[in-house]
């Protein structure tokens, strides 16, 4: 099954580089390119790609606005957006993830991580650059007490462990190995966490875990 991707970036060289990387994969096809935020929203709504790769800094509308328009809370039929940027400023990361992004990676993360992020988003999963995870945890750990301590008590001890691992950027396979449980059990716990907390995907689990200080910051 081919994953159809829309690339939104105002720099032609970047768009071309991303296209070359993605179309080198047998299961990925680039179906469109957008040069600014307004163009990105229009093309995405018309083409309905499996994944939208969106730059943060673009003319007319920035990547955060595009993400909210395509994947944010209240969007009837959200698309999967992966934010790709040279900037890893905390407000960008947090804004993108809270806006509904299914991933956030830096342009210097390398081709392998880019492809993994696209495949993860297409599968309903999520991937965030490890360096971004560390920065965001540091940022949120200094923000004060948990937003909702009660929310933590909705999860079992094992579900909390899984949520913590998701927030650290672990894949299902890595979580299974770390906790000595089967892959299907991990998937069941992830689904349970989403259902109990009313979350849509792994990124929202990670955001919830960061906001509620589920992940130790030592």
**Tens digits of per-residue pLDDT, 115-135?**
988 988 888 776 666 666 555
**Residues 133 and 153 grouped into a single domain:** no
Q: Domain containing 160: what range?
A: 145-211
Q: Where are the beta strands (DSSP E) in 67-218?
A: 81-85, 103-106, 127-128
With a cut of 50, say whether residue 154 has pLDDT above it.
Answer: yes
User: Total structural domains in the chain?
Assistant: 2
**Contact between residue 98 and residue 51 where contact means Cβ atoms under 8 Å apart:** no
- Given a contact cutoff of 8 angstroms between Cβ atoms, the answer to whether 185 and 173 are in contact is no
The residue-averaged pLDDT of 167-183 equals 86
Q: Which two tokens stand for residue 13?
A: 């060289």
| 17 in a structural domain | yes
Inside any domain, residue 184:
yes
In a domain, 204, yes or no: yes
Give pTM, 2 decimals.
0.71
Residue pLDDT, tens place only, 64-95: 899 999 988 788 888 999 988 877 666 777 77
Q: pLDDT digit string (tens) for 28-62?
A: 999 999 999 999 999 999 999 999 999 988 999 99
Q: Is the dihedral of CA 71, 37, 18, 104 positive or negative?
A: negative
210 close to 134: Cβ distance less than 8 angstroms: no
Mean pLDDT of the chain: 83
Q: In this model, does residue 147 exceed pLDDT 50?
A: no
Choose among 97, 160, 164: nearest CA to 132.
97
- Smallest Cα–Cα separation from 170: which of 216, 130, 122? 130
Q: Are residues 18 and 101 in the same domain?
A: yes
Residue where a domain stops, chosen among 137, 168, 186: 137
Same domain, 108 and 158: no
Nearest Cα residue to 133 out of 92, 169, 109, 171:
169
Phi and psi, residue 146, nearest 5°: -55, 145
Judgement on whether residues 149 and 133 belong to the same structural domain of the protein: no
């Amino acid at each position: 099954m081919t994953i159809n991707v829309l690339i939104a970036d105002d720099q032609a060289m970047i768009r071309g580089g991303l296209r070359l990387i993605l179309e080198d994969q047998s299961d990925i096809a680039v179906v469109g390119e957008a040069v600014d935020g307004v163009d990105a929203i229009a093309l995405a709504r018309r083409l309905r790609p499996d994944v939208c790769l969106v730059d943060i800094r673009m003319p007319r509308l920035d990547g955060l606005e595009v993400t909210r328009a395509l994947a944010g809370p209240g969007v009837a039929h959200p698309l999967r957006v992966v934010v790709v940027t040279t900037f890893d400023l905390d407000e960008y990361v947090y804004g993108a993830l809270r806006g509904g992004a299914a991933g956030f990676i830096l342009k210097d993360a390398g081709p392998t991580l880019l492809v993994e992020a696209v495949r993860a988003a297409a599968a309903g999963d999520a991937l965030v650059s490890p360096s971004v995870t560390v920065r965001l945890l540091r940022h949120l750990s200094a923000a004060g007490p948990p937003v909702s301590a009660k929310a933590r008590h909705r999860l079992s001890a094992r579900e909390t462990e899984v949520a913590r691992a998701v927030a650290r950027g672990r894949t299902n396979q890595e979580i299974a190995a770390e906790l000595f449980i089967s892959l299907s059990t991990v998937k069941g716990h992830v689904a349970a966490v989403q259902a109990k907390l009313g979350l849509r995907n792994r990124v929202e689990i990670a955001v919830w875990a960061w906001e509620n200080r589920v992940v130790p910051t030592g």
